[in-house]
């Protein structure tokens, strides 16, 4: 089967595959924990307290949003900067971004004490000067925008040519609107920590933390694009409408972008420490952990990206992208958990319960399962043979 062939039921694999069995088991266990959380409340399922109201689920909300930046990273490159050689990666990246925001919304519902009040900022008590209102508005609009960016896939499936043509024609508009929304809410998520300056360790707290969040999302988005290309080729190679050689070329190009993004992010962090003269904090235990994050998962990926690009080594770039993703995860968990409420005695510090970990695994499994199902049934990895002329 070539990369442009339509998907048939036989291509989807057996129902009782090892992946389906493992995913089904994880989803069943996680689903039970979710039900228990909603029946008995947050106090039953989490170790959150009145002193520590942000925990593991808040940390992974920030992770999901940061890694979902693959969508705006690729669409901006292709539709705004005209880098059309990356077009085969656009739909996988946008779908990944859409799934990331879906998981963000789900874990937000799990994390809210009164989840049924989620629409309140829009219809009951709109607080237009609140950072949370801006986040809710931008995430809602951007989530809708990503859905609209994916509608051509559905229109191809139902053979609605006119609707698909209209959706494709609006792609540039969706991209520009989505980029503005992403910049706003990625930064405002960081701005939430500006409300609790006394609770965040100084090395992670900064007036410029909104800029840090946006820059790290760029790092995470580019790294996710690299890993998505690898995953799509390894798992669905015959269906992916791109050769190994072409994918390597695109990966090398993404390595250059990754080197620039991580370098800028590293310099911003160093300048921030210098401006506030926080050098003495680096000798503390949390300061040493900060150095692990910045040197091991920001500076080192910068150097490896640059070396991989210079020597044209796509394998090294893919390895480095994995490191960069781990760095983004580490940053989000550090600022929301490790460096948060650092003044509390160790006995009173927050440590996630086992059910909090189970819910995170449940959500990741759910996201991967849905992504896999969509890719196997729709024209995500290739141009639909009936509509190639419209690209």
At 7 the pLDDT is 52
The whole-number pLDDT of residue 2 equals 43
φ and ψ of 318, to 5 deg: -65, -40
Helix ranges, 79-130 (H): 90-111, 120-123
User: For residue range 187-239, what is the model confidence (pLDDT) as tens digits?
Assistant: 999 998 998 889 999 999 999 999 999 999 999 999 999 999 999 999 887 78
Q: How many CB atoms lie within 10 A of CB 115?
A: 11
Checking if the pLDDT of 296 tops 80, the result is yes
The pLDDT of residue 1: 38
C-alpha triplet 105, 341, 120: angle, nearest 5°: 30
Q: Compute how many other C-beta atoms are within 10 angstroms of the C-beta atom of residue 196.
A: 12
pTM beyond 0.85, yes or no = yes
Hey, how many other C-beta atoms are within 10 angstroms of the C-beta on 3?
Answer: 16
Per-residue confidence (pLDDT) for residue 12, from 0 to 100: 59
Q: Is it the case that residue 254 has pLDDT exceeding 80? A: yes
Whether 9 has a pLDDT exceeding 60, the answer reads no
Q: Which residues are CB-contacts of 295 (< 8 A; sequence separation ≥ 6)?
A: none
- DSSP per residue over 305-368, as a string? HHHHHHTT-HHHHHHHHHHHHHHHHHHHHIIIIITBTTTS-GGGS----HHHHHHHHHHHHHHH
Distance CA 241, CA 28 (A): 35
**Alpha-carbon 44 to chain mean position:** 28
CA 277 to centroid of chain Cα atoms: 32
CB 342 within 8 A of CB 334: no
Angle at 183 between CA 145 and CA 290, to 5 degrees: 130
Structure tokens, 51: 């002193």
Q: Which of 4-13, 15-24, 256-265 has the highest mean pLDDT?
A: 256-265
Q: Are 390 and 156 in contact (CB under 8 A)?
A: no
- 10 pLDDT band (50/70/90 cuts)? very low
pLDDT at 72 over 50: yes
**Which of 259, 310, 350, 261 has the alpha carbon at shortest distance from 48?**
350
Sign, CA dihedral 246-248-250-252, equals negative
pLDDT at 288: 97
pLDDT above 60 (res 6): no
Contact indicator for 371, 224 with CB cutoff of 8 Å: no
Give the count of beta carbons closer than 10 Å to the beta carbon of residue 197: 12
The CATH label, of 1.20.1630.10, 1.10.357.10, 2.40.128.130, 3.40.50.10470, for the domain at 28-390 is 1.20.1630.10
How does pLDDT run across 305-338, given as a tens digit for each residue?
A: 999 999 999 999 999 999 999 999 999 999 999 9
Domain segments of the chain: what residues? 28-390
Query: What are the contacts of 316-319 at 24+ separation with CB within 8 A?
Result: 317/226, 317/251, 317/252, 317/254, 317/255, 317/258, 318/226, 318/227, 318/230, 318/251
Report which of 307, 236, 297 is spatially closest to residue 265, judged by C-alpha positions. 297
Report pLDDT digits (tens) over 122-163.
Answer: 777 777 777 788 888 888 899 999 999 999 999 999 989 999
The string of pLDDT tens digits covering residues 138-149 is 888 999 999 999
How many percent of the chain have pLDDT more than 90? 71
Q: What percent of the chain has pLDDT over 70?
A: 95
Structure tokens at 340: 């948060």
Q: In the predicted model, what is the mean pLDDT of the chain?
A: 90
51-68 tens-digit pLDDT: 888 899 999 999 999 999
Convert 347-381 to b/e letters by CB count within 10 Å (16 or more is b): eebbebbebbebbbebbbbbbebebbebbbebbbb
Number of residues written out for the chain: 391
pLDDT tens per residue across span 84-109: 999 999 999 999 999 999 999 999 99
pLDDT for res 142: 92
Predicted local confidence at residue 390, as pLDDT: 44
Q: What's residue 391's pLDDT?
A: 45
């Amino acid at each position: 089967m070539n990369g442009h062939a339509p998907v048939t039921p036989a291509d989807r694999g057996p129902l009782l595959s090892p992946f389906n069995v493992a995913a089904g088991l994880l989803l069943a266990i996680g689903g039970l924990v979710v039900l228990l959380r909603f029946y008995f409340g947050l106090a039953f399922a989490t170790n959150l307290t009145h002193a520590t109201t942000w925990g593991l689920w808040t940390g992974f909300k920030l992770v999901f949003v940061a890694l979902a930046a693959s969508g705006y990273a690729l669409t901006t490159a292709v539709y705004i900067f005209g880098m059309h050689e990356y077009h085969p990666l656009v739909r996988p990246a946008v779908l990944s971004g859409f799934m990331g925001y879906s998981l963000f919304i789900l874990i937000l519902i799990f994390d809210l004490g009164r989840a049924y009040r989620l629409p309140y900022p829009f219809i009951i008590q709109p607080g237009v000067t609140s950072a949370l209102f801006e986040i809710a508005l931008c995430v809602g609009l951007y989530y809708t925008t990503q859905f609209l960016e994916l509608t051509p896939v559905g229109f191809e499936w139902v053979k609605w040519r006119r609707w698909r043509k209209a959706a494709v024609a609006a792609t540039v508009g969706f991209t520009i609107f989505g980029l503005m929304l992403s910049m706003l809410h990625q930064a405002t998520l960081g701005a939430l920590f500006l409300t609790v300056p006394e609770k965040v360790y100084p090395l992670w707290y900064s007036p410029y933390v909104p800029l840090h969040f946006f820059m790290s999302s760029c790092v995470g988005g580019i790294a996710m694009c690299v890993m998505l290309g690898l995953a799509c080729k390894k798992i669905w190679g015959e269906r992916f409408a791109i050769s190994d050689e072409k994918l390597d070329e695109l990966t090398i190009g993404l390595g250059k972008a990754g080197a620039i993004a991580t370098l800028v992010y590293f310099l911003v962090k160093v300048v921030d420490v210098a401006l506030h003269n926080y050098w003495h904090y680096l000798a503390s235990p949390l300061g040493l952990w900060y150095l692990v994050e910045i040197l091991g998962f920001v500076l080192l990926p910068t150097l490896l990206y640059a070396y991989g690009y210079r020597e044209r080594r796509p394998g090294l770039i893919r390895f480095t992208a994995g490191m960069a993703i781990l760095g983004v995860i580490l940053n989000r968990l550090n600022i929301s958990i490790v460096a948060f409420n650092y003044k509390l005695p160790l006995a009173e510090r927050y440590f996630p319960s086992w059910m909090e970990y189970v819910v995170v695994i449940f959500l990741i499994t759910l996201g991967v399962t849905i992504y896999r199902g969509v890719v196997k049934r729709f024209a995500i990895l290739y141009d639909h043979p009936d509509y190639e002329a419209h690209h």
